[in-house]
Structure 1
Amino acid sequence: MKKGILALLFAVLVGCNGGGESGNIIPAPKSFNLEAIEASAIGVKTFRLTWEASQGATSYQVCLKNTSKPDDCEPLAAPTSATQAEISLDDVLLDDELDFFVIASNTQGKTSSNEKTPGPAAVTAAIGYFKASNSEQFDNFGVSVALSADGATLAVGASREDSGATGIGGEQNDSNAENAGAVYVFIRSNNIWVQQAYIKASNSDADDYFGSELALSADGTILAVGAFGEDSGASGVGGNQADNSAVNSGAVYVFTRTNNTWTQQAYIKASIPDADDNFGIAVSLDADGSTLAVAAVGEDSSGVGLDSDQVDNSAVSSGAVYVYSRTGTTWSHQAYVKASNTEADDRFGSAVSLSADGATLAVGAEREDSSAVGIDGDQSDNSATDSGAVYVFTLSEQAWAQQAYIKASNTEAYDGFGVFSVSLSNDGSMLAATAHGEDSNAVGIDGEQGDNSMTDSGAVYVFARDDGVWSQQAYVKASNTQSRDYFGTAAEISAHGTTLAVAAFGEDSGATGIGGDQTDNSIGYSGAVYVFTLADGAWEQQAYIKSPNPGVRDIFCSDVSLSAEGMTLAVGAHGEGSGATGIGGDQTDNSARSSGAVYLY
């Protein structure tokens, strides 16, 4: 079952003080209350709980209440004879409906405490706060984030970091390459988070924006990094990095980790790079890191479908996606993918997502203009400017083919369906697609789509595939829909398609932590994240999440990433302004504007 951070923090308040009886026979511990308890945070999502002894007790067990089996104890730590325990929250996200209790035991029996729920302060105190090891203003740390499947590896991009260093572990304080970009890798070991690596491109240059997009393999050992501003005129894999003849053509770098050491494995370019193609503006890896999809929204070919003519540049910024496969340590080009209705300025590739097996690919085209609705409508009707579309491709017998052309159920001009995020479940049967410019005033799940009184409030659409046929499953809005909240600026669905995290960078609430006041619009563009869960075929909102230190234009939610089971959530806030460095620093120091931060829930 899901154990949530909000619920787990309930354990912070769990304790016992029970009476005993004198005599030669020690009675079973008596029932006990939870008043005498102390808790202190000792790390990211980790607490030490201390309670008074229950007379006669020889062992204590901190438990999670299983709502489906109320009498069962789901242990949160090993049994202890001490009156304290460390509770790790590292593998848990959120669930405010769960309660916690302690069992006191001896040879004569056992007794359970009453249950306890946490307060907001306890929740907020456990949120992980990550900064770069070389925080500087305008670095935009957190513009991209990626979690491994187990939530124990976190990669963070800072696309405007300025160091001229190259490779792994270089000089971080050399600010000679403005906006070159960097990536920081953090790992969790024995419930303690530490920075493992500081990664730069092998050819760091100003305005490359290395780290603008990231993807991790499931085990966190393979990392793909996009640098859409890279300028080399090289083509294919392993070309000449020093040739800067194609400005903003873009590149992708692949890194691998062996025995905790990171090395660059590949330098990848489009097969025919051109200036301003922005190759690498979106990237996705399959689970084992053997298939890589790379988008180039500025690519200009008028080709249609799979492996068409790449040389004809008559459809400016129509966009393309390139698929690469790895055998051993060698990467090679697998497919060149275009839309089935390629047109200029559609920006096919604004978002990409691969399924875990690498056999399903979803591609967003933020400025596609068709007014079609639903699945496989009329692609040729361009009466809804920049409404957006999503295309699904499948791989069979080493050949890719388009499976579906997907539009929103309420297609309208400038909705930007597919602009920032498309996200597939592990088996490729669930798809979440964002439309940050959607205008409905609906709230929650499957509300009224026709009332457009909330300009740019945003929406997310969930689709399901059954026997090769796609259908819309849900129309998702925020619980506090407002104009220009841009709900859907980022979104990710969990491996099994049962948890969905959605970001809204324009949300203005001054609330902090989890479950705060959504109606307080005192901090403009502070941003928020909403978590939804699927149970018994129905989606519902589970949590409303803010940073613990919201600030104006922090843009909390510049990117989101979920662990495979949806139990750990990383949220980037590239506009956050603290001058702190490392993990758990001073959140109140706003001396480094837009240095950026990442929060772990």
Structure 2
Amino acid sequence: MSLHLSIIAPAAFALSVGSPLTSAGAQQAPCAMHAFASADMTPEDAFGSSVALQGGRALIAARGDDDAGESSGAAYAFAWTPDGWIQEAKLLPDDLDFEDRFGTSLALDGDTAIVTSLRDDDAGSKSGGAYVFDRAGGAWTQTAKLVPADLQAGDEFGTKVELDGTTAVIGAWHSDAMGADSGAAYVYQRAVDGSWVEVAKLVAPDGGPGDLFGWGLDIQGSTIAVSAVTSDANGSDSGAVYLFEEGPTGWEFRQKLAPASTVAGDRFGGDLALDDDTLLVGAHGKFASRGAAYAFRRDEGGLWHEVGQLFAADGHPGDNFGLGLDVEQGRAVIGAEYSDFAGSNSGSAYVFELSPSGWVETSHFAAPDLGPGDQLGYWVDMDANHVVVGSRTSDLFMFEGGAAYLFGLDGCSLYGAPGWIELSSGGQQTLGIDFGADRAGLVYLVLGSASGTAPGIAVGGVLLPLAPDAYLSFTATNPGSALLQSSLGFLDADGDATATFQLPAGSDPVLAGLTVHHAALAIDPSLAAIVDVTNAYRAELLP
């Protein structure tokens, strides 16, 4: 397609005179991009009971699915394509049985997924288990089953699972390691041959009966955080979180967190999330279950310090704010599954941004078709500027069949998959543009930056969320290049278009670790004016 230069001129001119801003401006309210549902949903499947999102893929559990008997469970893999989200596979373990609750928790990292069965019985009734699935050639296949060597009946291994590269951590909240139901967490490492090896069993050094250590957990790099949600550190069921670091001799206890402001019933540790030197911990029982979240920061010596508390400005007792949460790059999404946003116990979620003065609530959102009893916000998972939120008792598709919603935190108009490109093998990221039908027929121009999204540039009355640099200038003056294909064109009847960011095999390895962002402008040629802009979407460049 060729376009007259007069159409490109408004964008090029605006970019040449646009001025960087001192701040990114007002935040856009999150908006619903997609409602996930399984192709074979039946009533009471509880689809959305656990969720994961990464790089244009989503993994969503339906622990009430009954393919192998009542509440045997299932997990569904979805992939984003230029034509939208498609269901790739239904994941079922080879030994699934009645009441296994497969899908209690799940984790996704690249082409590997781990899904737990809280009540699998290989080591006795309700001992638990975890299954590894790998994706190759577009197909998902079970490749391993994880069962700790010392697992006992009733341990319920699989309370929570998290995966970071080749390391997984899995909770067993009813383990009796330090007394009845004191809890434990197991660390697995993937070997070079692809097998999984149990390398550590973590317990609270001061744990006791009924602590439920392993209720919540997360891993990032050499750090693991595990909660004991009913620990009595500051009163009955006040809760605590334990930090472990990987050292020369293995995983070692580092620090216990039990803020002085926690009291009986707070359940500090109902959920938690790590992001570099930030730790966010929910306390859904605080203030008569209105709920709260605590933010911690790691200092240069490796110790964690409380730096703030997060509350819902319009919260009410019983909301359970903080039971589902995630944090990434200075932004947090926190669910409140019993919020009455759209009727009794409909649920909702909140966005917080880290500012120079601390964490600030920027929006309160829910699905547009939410109804009473849907419990949106029980499970939350973020990826870049998107979040998927589970609604396990939603009646949207059928009675308590459940649903999961994808929200764009900066608006809904740009999404890409996958979220990374490997420099050695090359690859591409497909960018889907959606300005809406009211922009049909307008010109779009995709631009990029290798320097981030802040402070942004004021262009033609809109804020382009890209930092000025050489790549931005290149994409503005070389539309349709081999690097950024189909970056200039006309929006279709739905206001949609597709562009492709592509790198050849053997690209310069010095680029590894770089994050490239893209955003699109909508240009009205009849007005010679820029009339709209998308959010920015990132691509991680890997070795």
Tell me if both proteins adopt one fold, taking TM over 0.5 as the criterion.
Answer: yes
Give the deviation of 1:61 after TM superposition: 7.1
For 1:553, the equivalent position in structure 2 comes to 373
Q: Secondary structure at the match of 2:215?
A: strand
For 2:535, the equivalent position in structure 1 comes to none
Amino acid of the residue matched to residue 364 of structure 1?
S
For 1:185, the equivalent position in structure 2 comes to 77
The partner residue of 1:462 within 295, 302, 309 is 295
For 2:421, the equivalent position in structure 1 comes to none
- Distance (whole Å) between structure 2 residues aligned to residue 185 and residue 390 of structure 1: 31
The partner residue of 1:327 within 191, 198, 204 is 191
For 1:46, the equivalent position in structure 2 comes to none
Q: 2:216 touches 2:226 (CA, 8 Å); kept in 1?
A: yes
Give the deviation of 1:536 after TM superposition: 2.8
Q: 1:127 touches 1:548 (CA, 8 Å); kept in 2?
A: no
For 1:524, the equivalent position in structure 2 comes to 344
Residues 128 and 409 of structure 1: CA distance in aligned 2, closer, same or farther (over 3 Å): farther
Displaced runs of 4 or more, over 3 A: 55-63, 69-73
Residue-by-residue CA offset, 1:510-561 (whole Å, 9 max, x unaligned): 2xxxxxxxxxxxx000001001111335211122111111111100112110
Give the deviation of 1:72 after TM superposition: 6.6
Amino acid of the residue matched to residue 502 of structure 1?
I
For 1:274, the equivalent position in structure 2 comes to 152
For 2:403, the equivalent position in structure 1 comes to 597
Gaps of 5+ in 1: 1-54, 74-94, 100-119, 165-176, 234-245, 303-314, 372-383, 440-454, 511-522, 580-591
Q: Between the two proteins, what is the percent identity of the paired residues?
A: 29
- Distance (whole Å) between structure 1 residues aligned to residue 242 and residue 319 of structure 2: 26
Question: Does structure 1 residue 249 correspond to structure 2 residue 127?
Answer: yes
Q: 1:526 touches 1:556 (CA, 8 Å); kept in 2?
A: yes
- Distance (whole Å) between structure 2 residues aligned to residue 283 and residue 595 of structure 1: 24
Question: Does structure 1 residue 399 correspond to structure 2 residue 399?
Answer: no
Count of matched residue pairs: 399
Gaps of 5+ in 2: 408-543
Question: Given the two structures, how large is their TM-score scaled by the length of structure 2?
Answer: 0.70
For 1:415, the equivalent position in structure 2 comes to 266
The partner residue of 2:37 within 115, 131, 142 is 131
- Distance (whole Å) between structure 1 residues aligned to residue 72 and residue 304 of structure 2: 41
Residue-by-residue CA offset, 1:475-496 (whole Å, 9 max, x unaligned): 00002021111111101111x3
Question: Does structure 1 residue 205 correspond to structure 2 residue 97?
Answer: yes
Alignment of 1:460-539 (within 5 A): 460-466=293-299, 467-494=301-328, 496=329, 498-510=330-342, 523-536=343-356, 538-539=358-359
Give the deviation of 1:368 after TM superposition: 0.2
Give the deviation of 1:431 after TM superposition: 0.7
Amino acid of the residue matched to residue 43 of structure 2?
Q
- Distance (whole Å) between structure 2 residues aligned to residue 598 and residue 56 of structure 1: 44
Q: 2:369 touches 2:396 (CA, 8 Å); kept in 1?
A: no
Q: 2:119 touches 2:156 (CA, 8 Å); kept in 1?
A: yes
Amino acid of the residue matched to residue 249 of structure 1?
S
Amino acid of the residue matched to residue 395 of structure 1?
E
Report which of the two structures shows the higher radius of gyration computed on alpha carbons: 1
For 2:180, the equivalent position in structure 1 comes to 316
Alignment of 1:86-97 (within 5 A): 97=26
Q: Secondary structure at the match of 1:58?
A: helix
Give the deviation of 1:59 after TM superposition: 3.8
Residue-by-residue CA offset, 1:29-80 (whole Å, 9 max, x unaligned): xxxxxxxxxxxxxxxxxxxxxxxxxx994348789x99xx95479xxxxxxx
- Distance (whole Å) between structure 2 residues aligned to residue 596 and residue 61 of structure 1: 46
Residues 543 and 61 of structure 1: CA distance in aligned 2, closer, same or farther (over 3 Å): farther
The partner residue of 2:65 within 145, 161, 186 is 161
- Distance (whole Å) between structure 2 residues aligned to residue 212 and residue 292 of structure 1: 16
The partner residue of 2:395 within 577, 581, 592 is 577
RMSD (Å), alpha carbons: 2.3
Give the deviation of 1:367 after TM superposition: 0.6
Question: Given the two structures, how large is their TM-score scaled by the length of structure 1?
Answer: 0.64
For 2:285, the equivalent position in structure 1 comes to 437
For 1:28, the equivalent position in structure 2 comes to none
Give the deviation of 1:272 after TM superposition: 1.3
Question: Does structure 1 residue 360 correspond to structure 2 residue 223?
Answer: yes
- Distance (whole Å) between structure 2 residues aligned to residue 546 and residue 264 of structure 1: 35
For 2:360, the equivalent position in structure 1 comes to 540
Q: 2:184 touches 2:213 (CA, 8 Å); kept in 1?
A: yes
Give the deviation of 1:400 after TM superposition: 1.2
Q: Secondary structure at the match of 2:286?
A: coil
